[in-house]
Amino acid sequence: MRSFLHEGQSLTPSARTLWEVQAFAQKPPVETAMELYRYILDRARPCIERAEKERAAIRDLRELKNRQASVLERFLQCIGGLPEIPQGVNAQISARRSYEGFTLENLILETRPNYFATGALYLPKNMPAPGPAVLLVIGHTDAGKADPEYQYAAQRLCAAGFAVLALDPFGEGERFEHYELQADLQPIQGCSGEHDLMDWKMKLCGASLARYFLADALAALRYLKSRPEVDENRVALTGHSGGGTQTSLLMLAAAEEFACAAPCAYITDMRAMLEAGVDPDNEMIWPGSLAMGIDYADILLAMAPRPVLVLANSNDFFPYEGALRAVSEAQALGQKLGLQDPPRIATAQSEHAFGKTLVEAAVTLFSNVLLGRAPQGDFRFAPLPPKALEAAGGCILKARPNMQTLQEEAKRLMEDAQKACLADGRALDARLRALLLPHPDSAIDEEIYRAGADRFTVYREGLCAPYAYLCVSWLQKEGLYLNSVLLRPMLAGDAPLPTCVMLWPGGTARIAEHSQLIHREVASGRQVLICDLPGEGALTPAKLGGSDLYISWSTLYKLNAYLIQLGDSLAALRTRCVLSALNAAKKYELVQQDAVSLYAEGDMQTYAALASVLSCTPAELSQSVQDYKDIVTQTWHDQTHTHAWALPGALRAFDPDEVRRALTAPQTPV
């Protein structure tokens, strides 16, 4: 076989084992450690800049209201809309106790039919009725409303003259919905563990866990406003960390319900989040939001003309420089439009916390706006034991064993998604194209399904008896380099051969352990093209922000989160790259054009299955496609490789069984 690197020469022996070929393939002639990250930044920056220009172009209050309405519409589209919220919220006061300066009521609220949340209502003694109130939404802590940090905020606000409703979010406090009643234990990490577990199910159905945080908080707000002690026109809103997220959700979706707001330790901007490599929690990942131009400045502007005070920590993992930019942008626009009280910022010299400085800043804002004066009176904090704040004996499932759960809600969402899929009149390949393409605001279009590469770049070659091998890379249409190794019979010369494109986790970094499979194929007179997809093999990214590559809020989790916010996903991108590999292979002079097939293992089978349907390429797969219905219907799923299979809206686009059937009866080639 002739050399592709040395004109007029033949290949020479240069490797004794496939292990050596594998090592050669890990050194493509392009920078790969930051390639996927750079690709995401290159796609994100135009979205960020376009949104900044749109906000800067607002000329008057009418245009600001139009922007607010447009952002709200897009935001609700991102999270799958809002569930229906009851007008009247049923509540059970399970306990009422008197403490120095306040009365505490422990509450069980029916936020949706047969679905319950737990909370605590702090009522100042001698409070003139109706008086002002604060909805305090709790951040990430297993203790929920009983966490001393949130007890401090609630008691301090109460001492300043506000009724305060503190609400346990799903997966926190008394609301562990994966609690095993039979074993009497919580078998999963609470808080973010439960959030992430449920949110991936929701995203497969085209929704987001954020909509349920919103629904609970809005129901709690309705209950708070219904209390005779509360003036419904004087309600403020605050929350820290995950509570800052919930505060932001409420500012976007229900700004008119609040007189003022103080989101804490969450506000920054997308530019800073991306550049610092920060990992958003699942409920913060709103599919398509970045492509749609929704940024943190829009959250602040959503409340206009109502006052907003951003509470920030100078050493937070939510980048402080982003908070300064977001507030500065919102301030400049507010001043341009003549707003009486544009958004401001209060800063604590602290790490991520809702400390005394920021609590006091919130108290000052709320006192000035809702009471017309500065805070008055002394305050001494005395934390209560967790038992004192229990409304449901410590676990809502124990108190309401027959209640609806979000797991059951996910199953209902899946049924609705599959009905929508059946009602969609488009053919499977059209639905898959719509699913796998990024948001329409992206510059990427349907040509990616047909584009391969103008040429393969050979960067290493030789003989490794009985194989001839070529290490090759090529530039995919989206601007990503892909990497592969072509292994063919040594004695075949330059003859075009039937080709099997092979995919498995680890790609070219795991050639040696697949030696028997490779030998079987090559011995049959075929050749194999072993491909790395983005994030695999030689394309494995460098670790972002000191995170692990796979575990918890890992590098690949982060990169996938950013892609989802761009209206895309790593699974969709990888499927497009499989199509690129197939199209590139069919253009290569060593490939027999009408004899290309696919082989895939593990997570790669889903990409191969979808690419097979779209390209009419025969595929050898053991399972063919990730059974997304199982992920939704089964209580547990492993979260190590969510980046590999998470495909938002998948169940609205296809039934896994439909793809399996299509693999045996291919559609017309795209």
Per-residue pLDDT tens digits for 633-652:
999 988 888 999 999 999 99
Calculate mean pLDDT across residues 567-582: 95
Mean pLDDT lowest for which of 367-371, 473-477, 540-544? 473-477
Around 43, how many Cα atoms within 13 Å sit in the side-chain half-sphere? Answer: 29
- End-to-end alpha carbon distance in the chain: 34
pLDDT score of 14 more than 80: yes
Closest to 629 in 3D by CA, of 233, 306, 205: 205
Q: Which two structure tokens, joined as six digits, stand for 406? A: 């979000």
- The 3-class secondary structure across 81-121, one letter per residue, is CCCCCCCCCEEEEEEEEEECCEEEEEEEEEEECCEEEEEEE
Q: Could you tell me the residue ranges of all domains in the chain?
A: 18-43+438-664, 57-399
Beta carbons of 536 and 505 less than 8 angstroms apart? yes
How buried is 254 (Cβ within 10 angstroms: 0-12 exposed, 13-18 middle, 19+ buried)?
Answer: middle
Give tens-digit pLDDT for 200-254: 999 999 999 999 999 999 999 999 999 999 999 999 999 999 999 999 999 999 9
Distances (CA, A) of 466 to 21, 487, 588: 13, 10, 22
Distance CA 121, CA 103 (A): 8
In the prediction, which pLDDT does 367 show?
98
Distance CA 394, CA 392 (A): 5
Tell me the angle at which helices 242-254 and 61-79 cross, rounded to the nearest 10 degrees: 120
Domain 18-43+438-664 top-level CATH class = alpha beta
| Cβ count within 10 A of residue 125 | 11
The distance of Cα 178 from the centroid of its chain, to the nearest Å, equals 21
Around 254, how many Cα atoms within 13 Å sit in the side-chain half-sphere? Answer: 22
In the prediction, which pLDDT does 452 show?
67
In the prediction, which pLDDT does 99 show?
96
Which residues are bridge partners to 483 per DSSP? 473, 532
In the prediction, which pLDDT does 670 show?
40
pLDDT score of 669 more than 50: no
Q: Which two structure tokens, joined as six digits, stand for 598? A: 């696919």
Calculate mean pLDDT across residues 186-209: 91
pTM (two decimals) = 0.96
pLDDT score of 340 more than 70: yes
Calculate mean pLDDT across residues 320-337: 97
Distance CA 262, CA 236 (A): 8
Give tens-digit pLDDT for 587-607: 899 999 899 999 999 999 999
Average predicted confidence (pLDDT) for the chain: 94
pLDDT band at 565 (very low <50, low <70, confident <90, very high): very high
Calculate mean pLDDT across residues 102-121: 97
In the prediction, which pLDDT does 442 show?
62
pLDDT band at 667 (very low <50, low <70, confident <90, very high): very low
- Spell out the residues 6+ positions from residue 520 whose beta carbon is closer than 8 angstroms to its own: none
pLDDT band at 86 (very low <50, low <70, confident <90, very high): confident
Mean pLDDT lowest for which of 90-104, 262-276, 459-473, 540-554? 540-554
Domain 18-43+438-664 identical in fold to domain 57-399: yes
Distances (CA, A) of 491 to 30, 107, 458, 461, 523: 31, 79, 20, 15, 11
- The residue assigned the tokens 């008394």 is 174
Distance CA 596, CA 172 (A): 52
- Spell out the residues 6+ positions from residue 126 whose beta carbon is closer than 8 angstroms to its own: none
In the prediction, which pLDDT does 439 show?
74
Which residues are bridge partners to 470 per DSSP? 461, 486
Distance CA 182, CA 172 (A): 20
Peptide bond preceding 130 in cis form (omega within 30 of 0): yes
How buried is 307 (Cβ within 10 angstroms: 0-12 exposed, 13-18 middle, 19+ buried)?
Answer: buried
| Cβ count within 10 A of residue 645 | 22
pLDDT score of 25 more than 50: yes
pLDDT score of 407 more than 80: yes
Beta carbons of 203 and 195 less than 8 angstroms apart? no
Helix count and strand count (H, E) for the chain: 22, 16
pLDDT band at 375 (very low <50, low <70, confident <90, very high): very high
Calculate mean pLDDT across residues 62-90: 95
Calculate mean pLDDT across residues 435-443: 76
- The 3-class secondary structure across 474-488, one letter per residue, is EECCCCCEEEEEEEE
Closest to 467 in 3D by CA, of 511, 414, 410, 422: 511
Distance CA 577, CA 615 (A): 12
Distances (CA, A) of 29 to 14, 474, 482: 18, 10, 11
pLDDT score of 351 more than 90: yes
Question: Residues 240, 246, 249, CA angle at the centre, nearest 5°?
Answer: 135
pLDDT score of 190 more than 80: no
DSSP 367: I
Distance CA 320, CA 13 (A): 57
pLDDT band at 377 (very low <50, low <70, confident <90, very high): confident
Closest to 286 in 3D by CA, of 275, 297, 271, 296: 296
High-pLDDT (> 70) share of the chain, %? 97
Q: Which two structure tokens, joined as six digits, stand for 386? A: 């967790």
pLDDT score of 462 more than 60: yes
Closest to 442 in 3D by CA, of 666, 291, 631: 291
pLDDT score of 668 more than 50: no
Distances (CA, A) of 174 to 86, 104, 122, 190, 447: 22, 17, 18, 10, 51
Q: Reading across the β-sheet that carries 527-532, which strands appear in turn? A: 457-464, 467-475, 481-489, 527-532, 497-503, 591-600, 619-620
Domain 57-399 top-level CATH class = alpha beta
Give tens-digit pLDDT for 128-174: 889 999 999 999 999 999 999 999 999 999 999 999 999 999 999 99
